[in-house]
Structure 1
Amino acid sequence: MLKERIREEAHRLHEETIHTRRHLHAHPELSFSEENTAAYVASRLDAIGLAYEKMANTGLVALLHGKKGPSDKVVALRADMDALPILELNDVVYKSTVPGVMHACGHDGHTASLLGTAAILKSLEHEFAGTVKFIFQPGEECTPGGASIMIREGVLQNPAPQNILGQHVMPELETGRIGFRAGRYMASADEIYITVEGKGGHGAMPHTTIDPVLITSHMIVALQQIVSRNANPTVPSVLSFGKVIANGAHNVIPDKVTIDGTFRTMDETWRFEAHRRIKEMARSIVESMGGRCEVNITVGYPVLINEEKLTARTRSLTEDYVGKENVVDLPIWMAAEDFASYSQLTDACFYRLGVRNEKKGITSGLHTATFDLDEKSLEIGSGLMAWLALNNL
């Protein structure tokens, strides 16, 4: 009976959830600049009848206490709110009105869906005991991540949740399908910035230079040994360099080269051992060839771990809500998510919500200028999270 009531409420609220998502999509804001987004979410929480507090400048945390009886059980539900610096190419009525900024990762859908979940649970507050903590988080797309700031400001305290759930759209999955992976699911992600200094000069007189371009070439190739020869083959690791600037000319050897890259892995101990090896190898190669080297590594998000028992229970409940045939296994993914910060401190489950609809032409991937989501998924997502929250209590 409770499950059917949740479904009915999710359906009744569906048009409102779509309206919320479209408003957010049309008015995107970048990481840690979500002032108007936060104000809009606050207005929706006011309309639902939930008290909230601000956190991490543009974040919000709301609490709903069930009225069925006393209970110290607490479950946290999280949605992120920030957009990306991408110029939207979709021709839709809710297209971004902010040039060069777009909800290309579905955070508008996450926020709208969680607001829908809050409204559903508010309507059922006399049917459960315990507390639901709704976390509307800024800055997921930008290091150090809004999760780490909210944690530092006490989001996992007063009251402390026994577990936390996160839902993220996935355009590879058809609408109606939900994806899970227990254990290590998403990688840590760290930013690498290297400067190689030499001595520039005329391209026709290389013997008078210390060529930082040649030195950098050797260094980039050699650094791949850290993955191919130092990493345990059973631990996924990625070392990639996506930006190399040698600002010389066809006949000018520059004085320095700058390199930007990323290191990702699924093991926290190996992660920091790899940092040490990257620094030592880069410096030794550059110095052995007569140059100077500076290596800076910005520590980003940790490994995202879905607690085994919680994930198994959440998956079973999801099968009950959407049908076993609509729940699928996910492979590990070397992308990163700052939900991982929560997963390092409390039992967590981060699952994927299918939003693909080929008949509607909704097939573009995350972080692309044509990303969109099938809005039917919002009804599924808001109802499912309500169902999971109540059963976790």
Structure 2
Amino acid sequence: MDTVALISDVVDEHADELVGLRRDLHAHPELSWQEQRTTEVVAHWLERAGWTVARLPRTGLVADIGDQGDKEATVVALRADMDALPVQDITADPWASGVDGVAHACGHDVHVACLVGAGVALAETHARGLLDGRVRLLLQPAEEVMPGGAVHLMSLGVLDEVDRIFALHSDPGVDVGKVGLKLGPLTSASDRVEVTVTGPGGHTSRPHLTADLTFALAKLTTELPAVLSRRMDPRAGVSVVWGVLQAGAAPNVIPQSGLVAGTVRILDAVAWADCERVVRQAVAEIVRPYGVEALVDYHRGVPPVVNDETSHRILVRAVADMLGVAGQVSTPQSLGGEDFGWYLDQIPGAMFRLGTRTPGGPTYDLHQGNLRVDDRAVAVGAKVLAGAAATALAHGKD
């Protein structure tokens, strides 16, 4: 039996169990840095399959298979994130979240189940002598917070010896059975900005004798996005969207402080490197005429996910082998942020989008409490991840 057929058969054999795993994880979501149960559940699966598992400080794990003494062997990593979001699950599914105010609203439960399925298939491939190198699985915590679990794992040396890395992300806008692929940038850089504005305050009848802080704050919310559109290359696709705007408590009182906070998203990595400087300069210039002070708290988040050419070709081959040519669809670059970009800043790799929508069914959105996925996506993702690893190993280090 060849590797492609073996991987497909093993995943199909365990498909029902993997769906059960996905539903179990969905019912027991854990927030960033709190994923102890998820770590132990996955560790049990992988140890039983024959992987060498190392639990990481705080949460998460690294698992290896293949001849660890062969330092010349190609090493391919597969990564899945596992944290949930502070979102209320409003579905009525039997496996709905049992934790109030916490839900897998971004599909990380699917990612974990896919990684486990790939691990089971690759363990059997290794047992039959068909694995042409070594594979490392990264179960990563805290993708949903900044700076994110990827930075933590990299500081622990999880990329040591790794030649190439792959990952997936759920896409509720793509039908199950299909995978979205894109060469080059797949996601955007994502930063967080918070601006605190302060002034002397005063009576609304005498704005000329004080500093009209609320007016200055309103100007800042509208003008910063406009200024960036002129001060940065428009091809960089810089987007500022505010999520928090706070000032004052009484209609006839000019407050002494106010706050605006949101995200800055940038399609281009070069522009991302310069964005913080431009934001700080623009904020100072916008508020200067109004006599207030502005303190900018700028958090650099994640770089864009950029799929390199070789890794993209490997994914194309893996999808064709596992799903057929019809299983591949093109996917656009999004303004979403993904800390998988940090790994790709160090080694080549690629991410694909996994279709989770039931054909003809409703299209859900990520980060919403009503998110539902078609469970058949778990086997699809497991096959493509395992296929990508096997293809990359056969390709070698080049």
TM-score (norm 1): 0.95
Q: How far apart in 1 are the matches of 2:4 and 2:72? A: 21
Q: How far apart in 2 are the matches of 1:122 and 1:200? A: 66
Aligned amino acid, residue 282 of structure 2: M
Aligned to 1:178: 179
Aligned amino acid, residue 375 of structure 1: D
Aligned amino acid, residue 2 of structure 1: T
Aligned to 1:388: 388
In 1, are the aligned partners of 2:314 and 2:388 still within 8 Å (CA)?
A: no
Q: How far apart in 1 are the matches of 2:354 and 2:220? A: 41
Q: How far apart in 2 are the matches of 1:295 and 1:170? A: 34
Task: Give the gaps of 5 or more residues in structure 2.
Answer: 394-398
Aligned to 1:201: 202
124-133 vs 220-229, greater mean Cα deviation: 220-229
In 1, are the aligned partners of 2:221 and 2:260 still within 8 Å (CA)?
A: no
**Per-residue deviation, 1:115:** 0.7
Q: Deviations over 1:96-123 (max 9, x none)?
A: 1100000111111111111111111111
**Per-residue deviation, 1:32:** 0.8
Aligned to 2:130: 127
Q: How far apart in 1 are the matches of 2:359 and 2:88? A: 23
Q: Deviations over 1:192-230 (max 9, x none)?
A: 010111222222332332111111222233322333212
**Off by >4 Å, runs of 4+ in structure 1:** none
Aligned to 1:167: 168
Superposed CA RMSD: 1.7
Aligned to 1:139: 142
162-171 vs 310-319, greater mean Cα deviation: 310-319
Q: Deviations over 1:134-176 (max 9, x none)?
A: 010000001111001100110101xx21110001111100000
Aligned to 1:152: 155
Aligned to 1:266: 267
Flag the 1:355–1:300 CA change in 2: closer, same or farther, 3 A.
same
Q: How far apart in 2 are the matches of 1:286 and 1:41? A: 51
In 2, are the aligned partners of 1:75 and 1:161 still within 8 Å (CA)?
A: yes
Aligned to 1:338: 339
Aligned to 1:313: 314
Please say if 1:370 is aligned against 2:373. no
Percent identical among aligned pairs is 32
In 1, are the aligned partners of 2:46 and 2:116 still within 8 Å (CA)?
A: yes
Q: Secondary structure at the match of 2:235?
A: coil
Q: How far apart in 2 are the matches of 1:264 and 1:161? A: 29
Q: Deviations over 1:293-320 (max 9, x none)?
A: 1111011111211112210231133123
Flag the 1:317–1:36 CA change in 2: closer, same or farther, 3 A.
closer
Q: Deviations over 1:242-267 (max 9, x none)?
A: 21101232222111110102111123
In 1, are the aligned partners of 2:202 and 2:254 still within 8 Å (CA)?
A: yes
Q: How far apart in 1 are the matches of 2:238 and 2:308? A: 21
Aligned amino acid, residue 173 of structure 1: V
Q: How far apart in 1 are the matches of 2:57 and 2:144? A: 15
**Per-residue deviation, 1:88:** 0.3
Q: How far apart in 1 are the matches of 2:325 and 2:40? A: 39
Flag the 1:317–1:42 CA change in 2: closer, same or farther, 3 A.
closer
Aligned to 1:277: 278
Q: How far apart in 2 are the matches of 1:152 and 1:207? A: 53
261-270 vs 16-25, greater mean Cα deviation: 261-270
Aligned amino acid, residue 369 of structure 2: A
In 2, are the aligned partners of 1:185 and 1:331 still within 8 Å (CA)?
A: yes
Q: Secondary structure at the match of 1:379?
A: helix
Q: Secondary structure at the match of 1:108?
A: helix
Spell out the pairing of 1:45-60 with structure 2 (5 A cutoff).
Answer: 45-60=46-61
In 1, are the aligned partners of 2:105 and 2:367 still within 8 Å (CA)?
A: yes
Q: How far apart in 1 are the matches of 2:9 and 2:72? A: 26
Q: How far apart in 2 are the matches of 1:344 and 1:319? A: 27
Aligned amino acid, residue 340 of structure 1: G
**Per-residue deviation, 1:33:** 0.8
**Per-residue deviation, 1:70:** 8.7
Q: How far apart in 1 are the matches of 2:155 and 2:275? A: 27
Aligned amino acid, residue 134 of structure 2: T
Q: How far apart in 1 are the matches of 2:156 and 2:20? A: 31
Q: Secondary structure at the match of 1:196?
A: strand
Q: Secondary structure at the match of 2:300?
A: strand
Flag the 1:285–1:302 CA change in 2: closer, same or farther, 3 A.
same
